[in-house]
Structure 1
Amino acid sequence: MSIATLPAPPYYVVCFSSQRTQIEDGYGDVGAAMVELAQQQPGFLGFESARRADGFGIINSYWRDEESIRAWKAVVDHVEAQRRGRADWYTRYEIRVALVGRAYGFEADPPL
């Protein structure tokens, strides 16, 4: 996974912070399928994810507007993945949606 390349703001971020269970049962396959499916949705801009060894993770997905986020939340396969997450894969999660009004970064020059 790498840092997402995004357009200039404004755009939205959906921050999904979660604590995993020990249950695998298709988690990786479903996660990969959700990334592919999200990338096909109108308004999708990119995503980033990280997970610690203790199961805590954060996924940031980036969207053009709130309508795109609402549409993604309602996609049938995504709804099923959400159900599986609550039933099997997560002990807790929080979702936060925010408008990004400013973004900047840094990239070091490659070594000589």
Structure 2
Amino acid sequence: MFSVIFEVHPHAHRKDEYLALGKQLKPILESIDGFIDNERFESRLRPGWVLSHSSWRDEKSLVRWRAQGEHHVVQRKGRDEVFEDYHLRIGEVIHDTAPQERSSDGRRLDETETGIAKVASFTEITPEGDVDLTERLGELAQQIGLTSASDLVEHDLFASLYTPGKLALLASWRDVEAAETFVPKPIAGVKAMRHRTVRIIRDYGRFDRREAPQYHPPVSR
């Protein structure tokens, strides 16, 4: 299974436009053979940043999505008009505590050459009932055991735009060994937790597209 980790910072007052573009593409996205799911979150540590995380059966599924005409049109509009910045990582899921799709038999062993972090972990945290986990955001990383992990490059906490109360912890690691040392601890008030580890194959953004699969003219800061 593959994950697409798309962090985007829309220009001021254009977040709703970005979300509307995503809604416009939703029926097409869901029709792509191999698409599994997609959820959007907003950062609680970096104001203005939005995370779109999508799951795919295999890399061929992603190729079908990239080749879709309207998707390409919306990509260009976002890049040229809506986005102030973005960071896109594509990788293979090498560990999943709650897999929803059978993994492909193939295994990609290559990894990003541009990104410092070769692996990302994505932990979805669903609270019990009316428990508000955002009231203890400052303690959450420590409670889950992240702060004691070694070779952590960076992390962010996101709140779901689709599921009230749900959070996601996105952490970046120097290598697989470092990522494997992080096993999320149970937290009081949490109903469910899904933890995935993703080996990053492509890592690129608005200002550095060396690993991008498609050409766009260079953009200067």
- Range into which the TM-score falls when normalised by the shorter chain: 0.7 to 0.9
CA 1:22–1:68 in structure 2 vs 1: closer, same or farther (change >3 Å)? same
Aligned to 1:15: 5
In structure 2, the gaps of 5 or more residues are: 99-124, 131-221
Structure 1 equivalent of residue 25 of structure 2: 34
Superposed CA deviations along residues 19-63 of structure 1, whole A, max 9, x for unmatched, are 110253843332102222111100000011112483201111111
Structure 1 residue 91: Cα displacement: 1.0
Of residues 58, 71, 77 in structure 2, which corresponds to 1:78? 71
Question: What SS does structure 2 have at the residue aligned with 1:93?
Answer: strand
Equivalent residues of 2:6, 2:87 under 8 A apart: yes
Which of 86, 98, 105 does residue 91 from structure 2 map onto?
A: 98
Q: TM-score if structure 2 supplies the norm length?
A: 0.41
Using the TM superposition, give the Cα deviation of residue 87 of structure 1 relative to its aligned residue in structure 2, in angstroms.
1.1
Instruction: State the aligned residue count.
Output: 101
Q: Is the 8 A contact 1:14 1:95 kept in 2?
A: yes
Greater CA radius of gyration, 1 or 2?
A: 2
TM-score of the superposed pair, with normalisation by structure 1: 0.76
* Closer, same or farther: CA 71–110 of 1 in aligned 2, 3 Å: same
Aligned residues of 1:23 and 1:88 also touching (Cα < 8 A): no
Aligned to 1:8: none
Q: 1:87 to 1:108 in 2, by over 3 A?
A: closer
Aligned partner of residue 42 in structure 1, secondary structure = coil
Structure 1 distance, partners of 2:54, 2:32, is 12
Change over 3 Å in CA distance of 1:107–1:31 after alignment to 2: closer
RMSD, aligned α-carbons:
2.5
- Considering Cα pairs closer than 8 Å and 6+ residues apart, tell me whether 1 or 2 has the greater RCO: 1
Q: In structure 2, which of residues 61, 71, 74 is the aligned counterpart of residue 68 of structure 1? A: 61
Residue identity over aligned pairs, in percent, reads 25
Give the drift of 1:95. Answer: 1.1
Question: Match for 1:48: what amino acid?
Answer: E
Give the conservation status (yes or no) of the 8 Å contact 1:23–1:89: no
